[in-house]
Chains A and B, each alone.
Chain A
């Protein structure tokens, strides 16, 4: 089992920067998620850990030993590719046995390990089948068995849920997580799906165009995003950001936008300890304020310190409803477990916000001012 560390790693493919001064520390036995938009460099980091790509500069350490010059076959990591990479010309047994045979294990031992691993993943009865006879999910299990049977130091997964039916994703998520806990192997998991990251990760690193934007636990990243990019990336439906002018009017903090005016209650400001920040920022500065959909409440009657809007769409998902509202020219979303009764499309409503959960970002730098 291993700690993995990236130190000032850079990697470029022609003119595309895949890794831009990446510094990461992944702890032993951790379920670490690399999250980011497509093409952002996530798979590259995985390939660098596996040794399938070489760094341009910087060092990668396994347990404090630099492994830049160690070829992939000697790194003792296992990788599950998005395509599963099952060898079509071998049956399931031979596929799973690949890694063990490379280690020149005895035939009996190989047989025992393969049977154990496939038993654990529920594919033992397919040992003699060829890949084309298996479903996608079964093939993934073969790939997992092949990886786990080797007891690697690290376990690398590249978007494993991408090809799984939406309905199955939940159960496969649970299974992967429990497998990892069972085996206790350091796992690096790459995905673009923030739901997976939030639900599975011990810690998450958000990467964009090769740069690590933020590394923290999922809840940290959700409630204390470093900038607007992180705030918008996590959470579904996305956070709503408003561009406002922050004004200090005789000690009262007013956020002015074309579509509304909100006043931050002073008690809330004191409780959250943000008075100083706001005072520095006030003086007609532009800030972005952000509200998560679950922090907006809809009211039929007109209220003070609320945002006026029109109902655009109501999606009733059973356990909650997603309500899309039109504010000015924009469409934003609010989520409510119990939407207000008697509210229909095109009704004019008023949104109150939960100032306890309000985010404030600097408009120029996009940074979170409250951290």
Chain B
């Protein structure tokens, strides 16, 4: 087919792809900048007429005064959102820390020593990533109930580990396998014991993989819905994701909700932008599998 026709087709397709990928987000973003009345206008306003940040302020619990619209009260859901942000951050940090420590320690011998049970360990790592979240939730519900962990950040964090730890071990082992064993051997001969090799060779060299995994672990925990919903909704430990269905059920202002959605997207975007060079350096397609929580 001739070049011009191909170019035109390409433009059409690429435009479609961009549009398709972004339109729902842009739609919500629009709503987050409108007052409620504008929301219901038909035909809809594709661009907000008077974009104002009132929804963001409302949902974050900050009342405001606009000369045109008068006083704007803070949303009743603001505490849920603010607490949600706080709790999600706590959980995410807990999960991040524990996962890094456990995963790096476990990945080291699995990747670097020829363990006789090595394959069995790998099998365990693989299969623990394949269990649907809901299947674990049921027994844990009973456990936590009796252990008093229901409605705590620790409980949710433990559930997150069940997914992030095998994931990070898997990623680290995959990355470590690309590093020549001669580096370990050279350090041994130079006078370092096995822990010394871990400290001075393995950890520094696995830097990109570790950083990427930490970021993905944080994002996973921040975005995780099911466990958070079952184990923290309605409690003081409620994280951010469960706040949304509550808002839906209690008929919150849809514009406020839109603002809340955008707010919940900010930390992931910021972190991704910041760490983008590490993530692209890694290029592990399996890295995205963490979302299958």
Contacts and interface: CB of A to CB of B under 8 A. Distances in A.
B186 A81 contact: yes
A178 interface: no
Interface stretch (A84-92, A326-334, A347-355): A84-92
19 contacts: A50-B189, A72-B188, A78-B189, A79-B185, A79-B186, A85-B182, A85-B186, A87-B205, A98-B187, A98-B200, A99-B190, A99-B191, A102-B190, A102-B191, A102-B196, A103-B191, A146-B190, A150-B190, A150-B191
Contacts of B200: 98
Interface string B180-199: 10110111111111001000
Interface of B: 180, 182-183, 185-193, 196, 200-201, 204-205, 207
Contact of B188 (A52, A87, A146, A156): A52
Contacts of B182: 81-83, 85
Contacts of B192: 73, 98, 102
Interface of A: 50-52, 71-75, 77-79, 81-83, 85, 87-89, 98-99, 102-103, 146, 150, 156
A243 B188 CA distance: 51
B207 to A, nearest CB: 7
A141 to B, nearest CB: 15
A83 B180 contact: yes
B193 to A, nearest CB: 5
A99 B196 CA distance: 12
A73 B200 CA distance: 14
Contacts of B204: 89
Given A73-B191, A75-B189, A99-B190, 16 more contacts: A51-B189, A52-B189, A73-B190, A73-B192, A73-B193, A79-B186, A81-B182, A82-B182, A87-B183, A87-B187, A98-B186, A98-B191, A102-B192, A146-B190, A150-B190, A150-B191
A329 to B, nearest CB: 46
A48 B238 CA distance: 58
B193 A85 contact: no
A83 B182 CA distance: 8
A99 B179 CA distance: 20
Given A89-B204, A89-B207, A71 B193 contact: yes
Nearest to B197: A73
B205 A72 contact: no
A258 to B, nearest CB: 51
Contacts of B187: 87, 98
A51 B180 CA distance: 18
Contacts of A74: 191
B176 to A, nearest CB: 14
A146 B201 CA distance: 15
Contacts of B180: 83, 85
Residue among A75, A82, A83, A85 with the most chain B CB within 10 A?
A: A85
A313 to B, nearest CB: 41
A102 B187 CA distance: 9
A336 to B, nearest CB: 44
A73 B183 contact: no
A235 B196 CA distance: 45
Residue among A78, A88, A99, A102 with the most chain B CB within 10 A?
A: A102
Nearest to A103: B191
B204 to A, nearest CB: 5
Contact of A73 (B188, B205, B207): B188
B201 A72 contact: no
Contacts of B183: 85, 87
B254 to A, nearest CB: 51
